[in-house]
Amino acid sequence: MGKPKIATASLAGCFGCHMSLLDIDDRILKLVELVDFDKSPIDDIKKFSGRCLVGLIEGGCANEENVHNLKEFRKHCDILISVGDCAINGGLPAMRNVMPLKECLDEAYLNGPTVYNPEGIVPSDKELPLLLDKVYPCHHVVKIDYYLPGCPPSADTLWEALVALLNNKPLELPYELIKYD
């Protein structure tokens, strides 16, 4: 039997949670002994090659591509984990949830103090993923099995969680590893 597979994705996130995963330092050597990486920015595999045991999702859903990606992950992964505050509550991108999307675009492309846009063009192209009205936490879109909070979750948090899951142990994080900041 081959090694279990892990897939990861960064949706509306900053890749900080992926950086934190790399922060497990030399334990990454143990990790590649335990698992194979499937679709992930870490190995740059773009398409699922088969069923994965664990999917790690960083970031919430800000556009239709995020939603599509997240649904793909749900389809291909046995266990889907929201990693980091953006996946869990939308995080920084969700700051726009308190205002209409149009106001947000106007500020970014028309009215902002540093904007130079003499033709007043607001990007709108079918090649660009359509923005959602709000930024949605992942569990508002698909079923999520576990949550690892933090901005980002520390390398130890990610490591503990992965080791527990891969060894079929319950995920019980000690006090120091539950952080929302």
- Residue ranges binding another protein (CB under 8 A): 82, 85, 88-92, 94-95, 97-98, 134, 137, 139-140, 146-149, 151, 173, 175-176, 178-181
C-beta separation of 134 from 102 below 8 A: no
What is the closest distance, in whole angstroms, from the C-beta atom of residue 77 to another protein in the complex? 18
How many Cβ atoms from other residues are within 10 Å of residue 152's Cβ?
25
What is the closest distance, in whole angstroms, from the C-beta atom of residue 109 to another protein in the complex? 23
Are β-strands 131-136 and 61-63 bridged in parallel, bridged antiparallel, or unpaired? antiparallel
What is the closest distance, in whole angstroms, from the C-beta atom of residue 171 to another protein in the complex? 9
What is the closest distance, in whole angstroms, from the C-beta atom of residue 81 to another protein in the complex? 10
Write b or e for each residue in 117-150: b if 16 or more Cβ atoms lie within 10 A of its Cβ, otherwise e.
eeeeeeeeeeeeeebbebbbbbbebbebbebbbb
Structure tokens at 32: 């590649």
Are β-strands 52-58 and 5-10 bridged in parallel, bridged antiparallel, or unpaired? parallel
What is the closest distance, in whole angstroms, from the C-beta atom of residue 147 to another protein in the complex? 4
Nearer to another protein, 73 or 147 (CB): 147
Token pair 């398409």 is found at 47
Q: How many residues does the chain have?
A: 181
Nearer to another protein, 2 or 174 (CB): 174
Nearer to another protein, 5 or 60 (CB): 60
Nearer to another protein, 98 or 121 (CB): 98
Nearer to another protein, 68 or 140 (CB): 140
